[in-house]
Amino acid sequence: MINKLLTIAANTFTETLRQPIYAVILCFALLMFLLSPSITMYSLDEDTKFLREIGLSTLFLTGLFIAIFAASGAVTEEIETKTITTILSKPISRPTFIIGKFLGVSAAVSLAHYICTLAYLMVVRHGVLEAATDTHDWTVIVAASVTVTAVLFITAFLNYSYDWNFPATAIVLTSIFATFAMSFLLCIDKGWTFNPANNQMSLFDVNASLLLLLAILVLVSLAIMFSTRFNIVLTLIFCVGAFLFGLISEYLYMKIITSYPHGQIWGHVVRVFIPNLQVFWISDAIYEGSVIPASYILTSILYAGLYISGILFMAVALFQKRQVG
């Protein structure tokens, strides 16, 4: 069973990387990171904090849309093209299929999130040119430029010589070369000297990205569940709705329990079925200068794990009764 699960997950991961929409969303996100220092330089005295908020927002939205399109392509498309009948005709159970699809999509979304996180950390390291005397961080610019150039040349060579898929190859190579670039930036400061203590990287940004990844995985599970019954358009609508309501779920809970009869019951229903994404969104901490404690991260991991488990259980239940023949 484990081998079948891993095979489905690996195939889903590969297929997701080869989807054009995956590369388009990722490229658009990287472009937004590139432009964000110029966008945030007119916010008077909050430039760096505004840069962080835009960067985290870009991370969140990128994960949301990749999750929706990847999950829809992984499940809905196979149902509509009838290829799922071939898969289920083999000794593969429906729960194995759903969980394998979730793991494959989650891996692809996590890879995109990792690449975007590295881009976000580079942008924050470079910072905003708040004054005329500020200078560019050429270590960041050179590291990013070398990464992009190397990825394009190697991918083009592999595509031409061995017919490797261009988007998938470029994405994997980007994650590798960007990791080397970030390792370089962690050790080399703005003055091109070895100075790891002054690399201007913050653990806050890493923790914020980790929390957003948890929220994105929750959205992946929801997208998988919706795609077992609906097409890509409805899946998109329901996932965006869950995203928006998830950001205000605490407000909805308080509003319901104070404004309606039997509000306590309906309020708890809202808390159970609508994920509280505000738990993972910590933009307030950016402006308050708060530190994210390890206990908060562990609690968030537990909450996300329990919610994902419940959603996947519902997805399996919905898919068990789905006619696919």
Place of tokens 């942008």: 123
**pTM of the model as a whole:** 0.92
Radius of gyration of the chain (CA): 21
Task: Tell me how far the alpha carbon of residue 13 is from its chain's centroid.
Answer: 14
| Phi, psi angle pair for 177, to nearest 5° | -70, -35
Single-letter residue type at 111: L
Question: Would you say residue 24 has pLDDT above 90?
Answer: yes
Cα–Cα distance measured from residue 89 to residue 83, given in angstroms and rounded to the nearest whole number: 10
| pLDDT classification of 325: cutoffs 50, 70, 90 | low
Categorize the per-residue pLDDT at 48 as very low, low, confident or very high, splitting at 50, 70 and 90: confident
pLDDT for 253-281, tens place per residue? Answer: 777 777 777 667 777 777 778 888 988 98
Report the percentage of the chain scoring pLDDT > 70: 94
Tell me: the pLDDT tens digits for 203-250?
A: 888 999 999 999 999 999 999 999 888 888 888 899 999 999 988 888
| Pairwise CA distance, residues 114 & 63, whole Å | 10
Q: How far apart are CA 123 and CA 159, in angstroms?
A: 30
pLDDT at residue number 211: 94
Query: What per-residue confidence (pLDDT) applies to 291?
Result: 76
* pLDDT one-digit tens code per residue, 173-213: 999 999 999 999 999 888 889 888 787 788 888 999 999 99
Tell me the mean pLDDT in the region 24-30.
95
| Residue 81 pLDDT level (bands cut at 50, 70, 90) | confident
Q: What is the pLDDT of residues 132-151, one digit of tens each?
A: 667 788 999 999 999 999 99
Helical packing angle, 166-187 and 2-18, nearest 10°: 90
Does residue 53 have a pLDDT over 90?
no
Is residue 163's pLDDT more than 80?
A: yes
Spatial neighbors of 106 by CB under 8 A, at least 6 apart, are 217, 220
Query: Please, where are the H alpha helices in the chain?
Result: 2-18, 20-39, 47-71, 77-80, 83-88, 94-126, 138-162, 166-187, 203-227, 232-247, 249-259, 263-273, 283-288, 294-320
3-state SS, residue 82:
coil
